Structures are given as C-alpha cells and as structure tokens.
Amino acid sequence: MRDKVEKALDKIRPMLMADGGNVELVDVSKEGVVKLRLTGTCGCCPMSQMTLKNGVERILKQEVPEVKEVVAL
C-alpha cells in the first residue's frame, strides 16, 4: 500500500509546491493510517490541518481506498 500512497502523493505535491510547501510520507500502518510530515511553508501554515484533512486525506482516500485516516506529525 505504501507504493500506492506515494504515487497518489506525487499527484498532490505540485499543488503544495506551488505554495512553497511539500509533504513527506513517514509511515503507512496495516490499519490504513497514513502518517505525513508537511514541510516548507505547509509546515508552519495555520491552514495546514485543513489542507491535510480536506485536501490530502480526501485525495488519498479516493486514490487508495485502503486509506482510513491521514495524520500529521
């Protein structure tokens, strides 16, 4: 599943990079919990939690149905 998540993140990264940020995959659990680290301007942005849940998590769940939740570290 990790490879599927990485491929899905590759589709998301250009949007984050356009605003000076990025995302790093830390871990994918057997239960479908994806742990990410937001980097660049995304790491300190006050809207990062909304970006993570409403953007990244939504897209990952569409692309990889096994994903149950996305959390930031």
Q: pTM (2 decimals)? A: 0.91
pLDDT value for 4: 97
* Residues 6+ positions from 54 with CB-CB distance below 8 Å: none
What homologous superfamily is domain 2-72 in, according to CATH? Fe-S cluster assembly (FSCA) (3.30.300.130)
Band of the pLDDT at 45, cuts 50, 70, 90? confident
| C-alpha to C-alpha distance for 72 and 52, rounded to whole angstroms | 8
Query: What is the rounded CA–CA span in Å between residue 41 and residue 63?
Result: 25
68 pLDDT more than 90:
yes
According to the model, what pLDDT value does residue 12 have? 94
- Average pLDDT over the chain reads 94
Query: For residue range 2-28, what is the model confidence (pLDDT) as tens digits?
Result: 999 999 999 999 999 998 999 999 999
Q: How far apart are CA 40 and CA 22, in angstroms?
A: 6
Residues in the chain: 73
Q: What is the enclosing helix (H) or strand (E) of 18? A: helix 2-18
